[in-house]
Amino acid sequence: MGINKKFTDTYRRYKPIYWVVITLELIERGAYYGIMGYFPVHLLYNLKFSGTEYGIIYGILVGMLYLVPLVSASLARKFGYKKVLLFAFILIIPTYISMTFLTTPFSFLPAVIAWGIGAGAFKPMVSATIAHVTKKEHRNSAYSIYYLSINYGSLFALLATAFLFPQHFAHLVFLFGAVLITINLLITIFLYQNPIETDPDERIFTAFKNMATVLSDSKFALLLLIYAGFFFVFSSIHTFIPAYYIGFVGKPISWFEAPLMGAINPFAIVLFGPLLARFSDRFKSLKIMIIGIIIVCTGLFVLGMVPLWYAMILGIFIFSIGEFLTHPNFISYVSKIAPEEKVAMYMGYAFLPTAMGSISGAVIGGVIWDWVAVGLEKPSLFWAIFLSMGILTIGNFLIYNKYIMKKKGLEVPRYGFFYSKWTVFGTWAVVPIIILVGFSLNNVDYIGLMEDTDTTPDFDIRSYKEVDGVTHTFNGQVSENEAFLEEYTLNKPEDGSLINSISFRLTWTDEDDIRRIVRTFENEGDELGISVLLPLNDETGQVLISAESELTRNTHGSSGEVTLQVNIGHVDLESLNGTGVWEISVICGDCGDLKAPTPALTMYEDTGNAFSMTVEVVYLKPIE
């Protein structure tokens, strides 16, 4: 009963319009983060974009998300909040629908720009509405609920997309997002009301003038630049952690899709957020920020240096705790160092490090993903570079507090770990060590595309182990310009194993030379090759798998050999998986005749050859 009463009191404390915008935020963030759970995976693995292409696309999206609010906030005051919300949703819905069918980087660019404009127009509407419709004494709890709504929306949407859409249907998450935004559109039309009267005299570009004023404070501008390093590191959680999971770590079980790994971040914040908020109140803002960034780097070290799924889960939990400690305390720190008469203005531009760090993290990260993670197969070095930026940020904050903010008398350095110059130098000294560790760790196979096998993207070869193959051998005789056909039946393993590959090895030994009195007639080489088919064995005669080698001629006096490998992976995993009746053909081309090394009237004809064929089937057995 006490819980019900507390819930009822909380609900009644705020106006209905407050709960309307909280619902809008929860649904919109659910649509956005539900898509982001698959966005890098879909672009990098399903559509096979390069990391550089993906980084540029994501960088453009983030840029729009943080630049458009500068204008949309003024537009809301001038034309009304409701009109801006309607504009945002009407723009986003067809954009999401169109992205379901896009397949090239150039086609994504205009869609991402439209997406960024719509989401950026929406971004300040909810927080500004809350400021207008809540009482000052209830403002803290109102924004706490607002922050929780973001994480709940993200958590539920990521869980939903993971279970509703396997990776090869990842493009459907855009339609899922469109449905959610359509719900928001209807809520806005029927339930939302402008929180304040419009101001026709509002100047749209005043925000850029105010930005110039704020950035003229060189100390504050430097602070923003330093803090952008944190968001350079933080950007990886949405940009490359899902890609790393699919490309290098691999799913522990087939249904544990990338969005489930993404859901760990909001789940950790929802779970530990209230406790962490109480903990952070005991320390000064800068100290808790530095502690937070250290924890973020620790989490990144765990997940980046140990390419195992459970290390990823642990690393993301640690990362999320550091995130929660860092960013709210940065906002608090800004409120303390800003001139008292300009606190609101300074707070309004505290988002700039998010924009700078996220854009640079996406673009630069995309380049080093291609070059280091995929190209060198060293994901540990890729994460070491991100880690190094986090460590440099810690050192830069220590210097900022010790030498720059000392003049203002705020959090003046006194003594201890946080104020020692050796701490700064020690922090910077860790950077080359981290880079060396990342470089020295073993290469990790890139399993994201598996281009050399006939696979679908949701297969995780690391969840299986290779077992000894089954060998089948047969012999035969093939005539010149003809083929020898052998049928070989592969049955589906009863223990659930998958057929990974089938190797065909054809060998033959040509006939010996013939000696007649004083002449030796040398046997020229024979041409042999392999052709294999796996028909569907139905009335259509459709072929599921086919492969063929080139004709190969043995040299005089030596044996011949031809090999052909068919990688199955998990072609048609749910049914055939390479099982059925294989038609194996040994093809004979030109059989070299027996000729004398000098002109002779006599020549002996070679009409064919004997051969031996070995078929080896390699299986993948599920790891128990």
Domain span at residue 237? 207-449
Nearest partner of 100 among 184, 178, 45, 157, judged by Cα = 178
Q: Is residue 456 part of a domain?
A: no
The C-alpha atoms of residue 304 and residue 315 are separated, in whole angstroms, by 8
Instruction: For residues 481-499, give the mean pLDDT.
Output: 82
Tokens describing residue 508: 């033959």
Closest CA to 567 of 446, 448, 461, 465: 461
Q: How far apart are CA 202 and CA 204, in angstroms?
A: 6
| 455 within domain boundaries | no
Asked if residue 299 and residue 152 are part of one domain, the reply reads no
Q: How far apart are CA 65 and CA 354, in angstroms?
A: 10
Q: Do 39 and 119 fall into the same domain?
A: yes
Closest CA to 435 of 369, 374, 389, 398: 389
Regarding pTM above 0.75, the answer is no
How confident is the model over 546-551, as a mean pLDDT?
Answer: 87
Which has the higher per-residue pLDDT, 457 or 539? 539
CA distance 129 to 137: 16
Q: What is the pLDDT of residues 19-64, one digit of tens each?
A: 999 999 999 999 999 999 999 999 999 898 999 999 999 999 999 9
How much of the chain, in percent, has pLDDT values that exceed 90?
41
At residue 304, does pLDDT exceed 70? yes
CA–CA gap between residue 400 and residue 230 (Å, rounded): 15
Q: Is the pLDDT of residue 280 over 70?
A: no
Task: Write down the mean pLDDT value for the chain.
Answer: 83
Compute the distance between CA of residue 224 and CA of residue 385 in angstroms, rounded to an integer. 21
Per DSSP, the three-state class of 414 is coil
Alpha-carbon torsion 469, 473, 479, 483, what sign? negative
Give, for 530, the enclosing helix (H) or strand (E): strand 526-535
Residues 267 and 401 in one domain: yes
Residue 364 has pLDDT above 90, yes or no: yes
Those residues whose C-beta lies under 8 Å from the C-beta of residue 241, and which sit 6 or more positions away, are 261, 262, 303, 312, 316
Beta-bridge partner residues of 581: 489
pLDDT surpassing 90 at residue 297? yes
Rounded CA-CA distance 56/59 in Å is 5
Q: Is the Cα dihedral 232, 238, 239, 241 positive or negative?
A: positive
Same domain, residue pair 428 and 528: no
Whole-number pLDDT of residue 575: 55
Q: What are the two backbone dihedrals, phi and then psi, of residue 325, each rounded to the nearest 5 degrees? A: -75, -30
Same domain (yes/no): 423, 539: no
CA atoms within 13 A on the CB side of 409: 0
Question: 355 and 378 share a domain?
Answer: yes
Domain boundary among 153, 173, 204: 204
530: Cα separation from own chain's centroid = 40
Q: What is the DSSP letter of 604?
A: B
Read off the amino acid at residue 275. Answer: L
Query: Angle, nearest 10°, between helix axes 379-399 and 285-305?
Result: 170
Average pLDDT over residues 144-159: 88
Average pLDDT over residues 182-188: 97
Q: So what's the pLDDT on residue 358? A: 92
Q: What is the pLDDT of residue 450?
A: 43
Give the per-residue pLDDT at 574. 46
- Same domain, yes or no, for 321 and 399? yes
- pLDDT tens across 234-246, in order? 988 888 999 999 9
Q: With beta carbons less than 8 A apart as the criterion, state whether 314 and 188 touch.
A: no
The yes-or-no verdict on residue 571 having pLDDT over 70 is no
pLDDT, tens digit, 9 for 90 and up, residues 77-107: 889 999 999 999 999 999 999 999 999 999 9
Q: How far is the C-alpha of 29 from the C-alpha of 154, rounded, in Å?
A: 6
Cβ atoms of 98 and 118 closer than 8 Å: no
Min mean pLDDT across 215-219, 282-286, 403-407, 495-499 is at 403-407
pLDDT at residue 457 in the model: 37
User: Which pLDDT value is given to residue 520?
Assistant: 66
Task: Check whether 139 has a pLDDT greater than 80.
Answer: no
Per-residue pLDDT, 242: 92
| Phi, psi values for residue 19, rounded to 5° | -70, -25
CATH classification of the domain holding 596: 2.60.120.380
pLDDT digits (tens, 9 = 90+) for 386-445: 999 999 999 988 888 777 765 554 444 455 566 677 777 788 889 999 999 999 998 888
pLDDT of 300 over the 60 cut: yes
C-alpha distance from residue 250 to each of 261, 302, 448 (Å): 11, 16, 9
pLDDT at position 271 over 90: no
Query: Which amino acid is present at 422?
Result: W
Residue-level pLDDT at 537:
60
Asked if the structure places residue 454 within a domain, the reply is no
Query: Taking 70 as the threshold, does the pLDDT of residue 7 lie above it?
Result: no
pLDDT at position 538, please? 57
**Which of 449, 470, 488 marks a domain boundary?**
449
The verdict on residue 430 lying in a domain is yes
3-state secondary structure of 562: strand
356 and 476 assigned to the same domain: no
- Residue 435 inside a domain? The answer is yes
Is the pLDDT reported for residue 383 higher than 70?
Answer: yes
Let me know whether 277 and 386 are in one domain: yes
Q: Could you give the CA distance from residue 99 to residue 109 in angstroms, rounded to a whole number?
A: 10
Task: Give the whole-angstrom CA distance, residue 514 versus residue 594.
Answer: 8
Whether residue 404 is found in the same domain as residue 503? no
Here the CATH number for the domain that contains residue 100 is 1.20.1250.20
- Mean pLDDT lowest among 116-125, 240-249, 505-514: 505-514
Let me know if residue 406 belongs to a domain: yes
Residue 572 has pLDDT above 80, yes or no: no
Which carries the bigger pLDDT value, residue 624 or residue 584? 584
How many Å apart are CA 225 and CA 376, to the nearest integer? 31
Does residue 530 contact residue 562 with C-beta atoms inside 8 Å? yes
Residue 354 and residue 407 in one domain:
yes
Q: Which three-class secondary structure string do you get for 465-500?
A: EEEEEEEEEEEEEEECCCEEEEEEEECCCCCCCEEE
Residue that is last in its domain, among 418, 449, 480: 449
Output the pLDDT for position 341: 65
Asked if residue 372 and residue 408 are part of one domain, the reply reads: yes
Residue-wise pLDDT tens digits, 194-206: 998 888 887 777 7
Give the number of domains in the chain. Answer: 3
Both tokens of 484, joined, read: 């020898």
- Token pair of 388 as six digits: 């190094």
pLDDT per position as a tens digit, 445-488: 887 654 433 333 344 454 555 666 678 888 998 888 889 999 88
Over residues 283-302, mean pLDDT: 87
- What percent of the chain stands above pLDDT 70? 83
Q: Name the most confidently modeled range: 79-93, 148-162, 224-238.
A: 79-93
Residue 426: the pLDDT is: 82
